[in-house]
Structure formats: C-alpha cells, structure tokens
C-alpha cells in the first residue's frame, strides 16, 4: 500500500500559525518550528489574514479580494455608461 506525505492540518492550527505570523514571527521560523511547508503556510496566510477597517469591522483576505473584483466591475460599468452618455447626449455647437 502506497502512502503519501500529505498531512491534513485543522483550521484552528492554520489560524494559530497565521496569528503568530501577524504578530511578528517570520514564515521561515514558523515552518521550521512547526514542520509545515512554506507553500502551505503562505496559502494559509493569504486565506486567513484579516484587515480591520475604520468602523472596526474585520474582513478576511478572501472578502478583500471579492471587494476588489466587484470594484473593478463597477469601474468598468461606470466607464461604459460615461461613453454611452457622451454618444447619446447632444453636443452644443459654439459656432
């Protein structure tokens, strides 16, 4: 029977390492100390890192990414509407 080297870590463990990283430990230190791969830890940092905004609300990295995507969509729609207004609004001639 073949075995793989894949280890399943629980969510609390992942969040704990992310918290340690946010509080000053380097990814290299955490990888060495806890025996996790650099790629796994990097993925967890992206997934579980949070940002606190002005009103005290806390957003995850995933929520920030979704907001960035939605903002880009809205900017594109806004540009299209501006072009439509320019096309359909009669221009006054100053001749």
H helices present in 1-95, as ranges? 11-22, 27-34, 38-48, 61-88
Q: Extract the tokens encoding 24.
A: 């000053």
Block means of pLDDT (10 residues each) for the chain, length 95 residues?
66 92 93 94 88 86 89 97 92 60
Sign of CA dihedral 6, 44, 38, 32: negative
Domains and CATH numbers, the chain: 11-88 (1.10.10)
Report residue 93 as tokens.
Answer: 């001639």
Give the up-direction half-sphere exposure of residue 44: CA atoms within 13 A in the CB hemisphere.
24
pLDDT at 92: 59
């Amino acid at each position: 029977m073949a075995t793989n080297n894949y280890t399943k870590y629980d969510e609390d463990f992942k969040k704990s390492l992310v918290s340690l990283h946010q509080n000053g430990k380097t990814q290299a230190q955490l990888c060495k100390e806890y025996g996790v791969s650099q790629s796994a830890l990097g993925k967890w940092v992206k997934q579980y890192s949070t940002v606190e905004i002005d009103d005290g609300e806390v957003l995850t990295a995933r929520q920030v990414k979704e907001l960035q995507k939605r903002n880009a969509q809205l900017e594109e729609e806004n540009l299209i509407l501006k072009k439509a207004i320019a096309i359909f609004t009669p221009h006054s001639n100053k001749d």
